[in-house]
Amino acid sequence: MKKPENCHLDLKSKVRRIPEFKGVVFWDITPLLKDKECFKQSIRLLADHYRGKDIDVIVSNEARGFIVGAALAYELGVGFVPVRKKGKLPFKCVDLTYKKEYECDTIEVHEDAIEKGQKVLLIDDLLATGGTIKANIALVEKLGGEVVGIGFLIELRYLDGRKTIGEKYETFSIIQYANTDG
């Protein structure tokens, strides 16, 4: 049986809540990704929001961010730049260490991944406290890129990540949770 084309009302039901994973509530997007119509609709909703905006490249953090970011870059016809954990990229890199909810992490990007003045859209699967995306912003700006927007598949509003990001950047999400119960 074919699912309805407009399954965006059902996207939230396709996200699995795992109450205790490494000390946090984990919002698992793999059921949504497995459902071809809902995955397609997720990318379409993000693309429709950013279509027609001046974007040169999408930057996404590993690992789930890659899935959303690469698909969106393809849909919008723009380039894609991966941000990886330190030691995973083969060329000369620029790195940044930052504090996450439960540990410190170091991310890096190739030093030639973003050209000075390029318009960059940051995309990730989930906005929690905002630490990871704030580090991505810093990397992009260190390389001379201009962040023109930040988008997420899911936003955990109860963790107030937008406050960490700040009002300087336009932030958009397609699924929001007001509390840990969804």
Q: Does residue 148 belong to any structural domain of this protein?
A: yes
- What pTM, to 2 d.p., does this model score? 0.91
Give me the CATH number covering residue 81: 3.40.50.2020
**In this model, does residue 180 exceed pLDDT 60?**
yes
Task: Mark whether 62 is an active-site residue.
Answer: no
In sequence order, which residues have a C-beta less than 8 Å from that of residue 84 and are 6 or more positions away? 62, 107, 108, 109
- Asked whether residue 4 is assigned to any structural domain, the reply reads no
Provide the domain limits for residue 146: 9-177
Instruction: Write down the pLDDT at residue 101.
Output: 65
Catalytic residue status for 64: yes
Q: Is 169 part of a structural domain of the chain?
A: yes
Active-site hit among 5, 101, 115, 141: 101
Residue 119 lies inside a defined structural domain of this protein: yes
> Is 30 within a domain?
yes
Q: How many domains does the chain have?
A: 1
Domain-located, residue 62 = yes
Examine the pLDDT at 119 and tell me if it is beyond 60: yes
pLDDT per position as a tens digit, 16-50: 999 877 777 889 999 999 999 999 999 999 999 99
Domain membership of residue 1 (yes or no) is no
pLDDT at 4: 43
Whether 14 is covered by a domain: the verdict is yes
